[in-house]
Amino acid sequence: MKIKSLLIANRGEIAIRIATTATAMGIKTYGIKTPKEPGALYLKAVDEIIDFTENVEELPEFLDIERIIHATKQHQIDAIHPGYGFLAESPILLNGVEEENIT
């Protein structure tokens, strides 16, 4: 399966690097807008923004695996790139994307 769209589930410089590379590969990119960084620079690097500023949950936005998977399905995104850090090492994310047939 060729990836046509990608949700970048991270922030900062790593999100910019992922978005730049994916765009160069012809992949549509999505970023997560958070209440703590509504005007973050990484949001300018993506094609589409998914707004997580409403209905703020207890978990930090980039650790809320259920919400990230839901947004991916809702926007019909092919894949999730967790960047680096906790989410990238999470077996819960791996199980979730496998169950939902997300790359």
- Over residues 74-100, the mean pLDDT reads 91
Average predicted confidence (pLDDT) for the chain:
91
Q: What is the pLDDT of residue 55?
A: 67
Q: Which residues pair with 28 in a beta bridge?
A: 5
> Does the pLDDT at position 59 exceed 80?
no
> Does the pLDDT at position 93 exceed 70?
yes
> Does the pLDDT at position 16 exceed 90?
yes
Q: Which residues 6+ apart lie within 8 Å of 31 measured at CB? A: 7, 8, 15, 19, 42, 43, 45, 46, 48, 49, 50
Q: What is the pLDDT of residue 92?
A: 87
> Does the pLDDT at position 58 exceed 80?
no
Give the Cα separation of 51 and 68 in Å (integer). 11
pTM for the whole structure: 0.90
CATH 3.90.1150.10 fits 5-99, yes or no: no
